[in-house]
A and B are shown apart, each in its own frame.
Chain A
């Protein structure tokens, strides 16, 4: 192959910009704007390093996909590509959906390009090749399973000591470098000295578990940095391979991620062209740290702002803007699709007595029914989210509402969280069925059940070595290839629950399905005994089976009214709806060191704007709720305790209510003494 010459990035001109807009089914001037002055066209055409600060609904992902298509159309190389990394696979899904009929879509998702998560990238290109080269096989990268294995392998004495004296749990021991120097999460120092027996035990367990092929997600960064330390050529190699780097959702980069990307692509001479997109106001970190200190986003010297939201109108823009860390004056250009009779001017605050927490979702349902036409109710997406969706500990009942679950007792945090992996066999199945029902594509459900089977196998035999195939389903079939009977049994399960999408009832589960799955687990693992973990994994979950008449009922979807559902409300965490657009969004009060919305009252009342001198917790609250409040196109609702406004007072006072109304909120109250009924005056001034 010829030696590398300086890579010339394709140029994107106005013709390409128009072409990309039309390819995505948009108006030809979608990126340039009617007057040709939209700054999205500037971003589109730029092939130099820049940071794009994009407000919610600015069409950032569409812009990115359009730009990738325009670049892909003229891409000159089969060995050098575009690298697109983010925290989720949203960009990948978006390319799959928007460019489904166009060969460029497939090309962008394959070599020489990379489109995926930062983690996926680090694993594929650095960590896995290096681990394998060092003789550490890669069977499974899963923090939970790996954490348990490490914990279990500790000698009794060390485990007891760490548990009792140091209050550590499975999943809390990590290593800081390629020598497996023990540390705690986030690199914190290990609580025992290097000469202690516990330290030595932990040290050898960390090494032996890696030697057996089990790794935690965060190990990838340790290995990647070690590879760069040992083989500095990888920096040149990565810059050669990916002369153009896009970082989507750049505001969410942790220090670890940002530092590694900087080291790989931009530090020192010969940096690649890097374009980061994100919204500093929407940063919600997956990690406990406070974001990146190295190479922080956005770099003011190369910053371009996209303040125009195409998602919502100015009313919602005005309500959400003060919660921005640095409010940049959201401009609401309105939703691309309008619902009849709804202009986005009617936004509600539901104020409730804690005893009526169960009435919040029905009230929201009623409001939706009152506001939207039947057709829009059927087509739209209606969401209810809270910052905390799962109780971490048993916070006192007087703190209700503490989490999303308090609003709806059957809520199952395991299924909804897209980033966390399910804890039960059935949750894998339900999540897969849900996505298959949404998309009409069976492979989500098939992969769900196959992943669940492999997980079961790992739980029954933690040392099982499986040659991974292109998909989990293929992997399962591979293991069973010599056993036609068991293979059929597996395929029957797939047929029933993934292709026909039959629902599983508790009676069916306990009456035969579970034992079929257990038999499958025995075949896959080659072990007869169900471990404790396996039994727990196969337990029935609280997720209720669907009403057979209604077809598959989706997990964590609240339907209203319950007897003749007219609207389906998806319930989840704010985290899980990042990047989404909804017709209407309800933001639920929750508890994290304090009641979150209550702490934000001054911002809702217009007394405060931006972060100013507030602390980290308040920053997190602001960012999270800014994300939630910028999702809807037509209607924004908040649900808070009545007592949130004046200290010591159980209810909102008249002056506060007036202020809220003046800012554009319609106040709805649920008062215990008055019963669950409520009324809204449709003629109330907006």
Chain B
């Protein structure tokens, strides 16, 4: 059986009614993703409180665990178990809830309430905790013996894995081995009368054999005789005294002796000396999985918090895969929290639940506006560079690398630092922009009259209008490209509206470029010279050195003046199909990308540098920038930072795109349609 629905009320960030949490869960792997303080840990802790854990560690409740200021409302945690096997049904027979229509399978609901009585008992706040069955939480009490079957296996974050794996009393390794049938049953017991080869002895037999060898060892035996001699001189005549040397604890039960032998063992990785924290963590998880799968009866629920600790990217991917496969093979239900885009990218979208501001948003089919083809697409393309969208407070989804590179700078110049606002940029590389956006759009509820619970993360899609100025088709040789005249006013408007409508609704909005593309729009609105300079730098990137940099910029300036002159003459001569000088100049600038295959991402990078430098020099002010910059970009940035407080010194770094990924993307960058 598995938990199909978890309800939490009045526990930490979860309140009552609309503020309570209702989390739908699936058999197998469930990954909870979300920014810090969104409630991920509260969910795991609620489950620990309700079910208990296999390590028998009691979850200690604090005053602050009660929701709200007065903290008087009782905590409620309700776990609905579905998919009961025959064995589950028999075990919880007296607590089942049946389908009144006689159709559905029986389910088991465990309701845990913790009420603060307001009284003290032995100096501590006395809280009454009650475990009841029934869908409405008023059924018969579920006693400890039954709840013992529900204990979850819990892996805490950053745990001291090394200590757990080394020898010693109650070590995890000894527990794992103790439950292994091989360790318990294989081999012969030691019998002093029978001459058994040491290799054929059981683990316990080896221990007993060693004990007997110890006692009869020459040195030990001699010492015993010496003690006996001294004792004789101290004893009264005729009083026979001898000593007896034995091995401590050799009279204990088989189980106790076996445990003691196993506690002598360490677990290490072959060929390595002292293990790193990451290796320890992996070993530890492996041990827990083994122990859990050895359990014949009882819960198959595994709670894992942030297993990515100390693991590099590759090993995170491997871990996620291993957990997913184990969950399937052993019919485990795994509830895992993660901060890691790496790990998240290796988890199927279907198994993922976004946690945001105390609300849960499962991403499986039917819950979002994603179609089944979208799931296949995203499964292929949602990699670690994009998975940071699960952890963001605002998301900018862009078509290509240029926007990806340039937007942080544009936002910064506009006075909004994206990283401070926890905004992630997702670069879809030209395809599937809207599919990513639909991750954030919830399906319409099947129940009539029920309002859709919207995701509160602002998501902005940025896309190009792709309408060329009248002069452009002939200049760049794309005669059939759309221009305002070709389209007419009506079609132009509907084209824009159609683009906006493709991805909008709920928290998602699309921002369409004012004219053509990012580069053209920047150029036409007053940054033509900067874009041109950046493009020249990009074109000569391979031969660029510290020394010739200034020369290239100077040359570009001269070239740009020439371009401008040409344009002015053309406009004056009436050769510009009614375009302005700015439009014509911008079109000339854009020709570099369209015909001279200058890299857009590289240009973006140089442009960012140039704009920042101008701001530093004072040749560009923030007021002037806000005046000139393309409206749609400013609107998008404003939207994703809207109503948000900047995060002070982000505790969780917003995972940007690694530099090598940009370089790689730049290489294969192609002009998109």
Contacts and interface: CB of A to CB of B under 8 A. Distances in A.
Interface of A: 1-4, 77-80, 110-112, 124-125, 128-130, 132-135, 137, 227, 229-231, 233-234, 236-238, 240-241, 467, 470, 481
A110 B93 contact: no
A211 to B, nearest CB: 13
A2 B295 CA distance: 9
B100 A1 contact: no
A330 B106 CA distance: 50
Interface in B128-145: 134-136, 138-141, 143, 145
B145 A133 contact: no
Interface string B388-410: 00000000000000000000000
B124 interface: no
A80 B87 CA distance: 9
Contacts, number: 94
A237 B84 CA distance: 11
Interface in B1-35: 1
B296 interface: yes
B149 A78 contact: yes
A79 to B, nearest CB: 4
Contact of B140 (A80, A124, A134, A237): A124
A79 B96 contact: no
B134 A132 contact: yes
A1 B145 contact: no
A1 B98 contact: no
7 contacts: A4-B86, A79-B91, A125-B94, A132-B136, A133-B135, A231-B99, A231-B106
A658 B300 CA distance: 78
B90 interface: yes
B139 A132 contact: yes
Given A1-B297, A110-B145, A231-B106, A238 B93 contact: yes
Contact of A1 (B94, B117, B298): B298
A124 B89 contact: no
Given A112-B145, A132-B139, A2 B297 contact: yes
B218 interface: no
B95 interface: yes
B102 interface: yes
Given A4-B90, A111-B146, A124-B94, A233 B106 contact: yes
Nearest to B143: A111
Contacts of B300: 1
Given A133-B98, A231-B98, A231-B102, A237 B93 contact: yes
B82 interface: no
Contact of B87 (A1, A125, A135, A234): A1
A324 B148 CA distance: 49
Nearest to B298: A1
B97 interface: yes
Contact of A125 (B93, B105, B148, B297): B93
Contact of A111 (B87, B135, B145): B145
A234 B94 CA distance: 11
Contacts of A467: 138
Nearest to B117: A481
A133 B100 contact: yes
Given A78-B149, A132-B139, A231-B106, A241 B100 contact: no
Contact of A230 (B96, B102, B135, B136): B102
B88 interface: yes
Interface string B73-87: 000000000000111
Contacts of B106: 231, 233
A240 B140 contact: no
A240 B94 contact: no
Interface string B40-61: 0000000000000000000000
Contact of B90 (A80, A128, A227): A80
A133 B90 contact: no
Contact of A137 (B86, B138, B140): B138
Nearest to B132: A467
Contacts of B134: 132
A234 B86 CA distance: 10
Given A132-B134, A233-B106, A240 B98 contact: no
Most A CB within 10 A of own CB, among B135, B138, B143, B146: B138
A77 B95 CA distance: 19
B82 to A, nearest CB: 14
Contacts of B91: 1, 78-79, 112, 241
A79 B97 contact: no
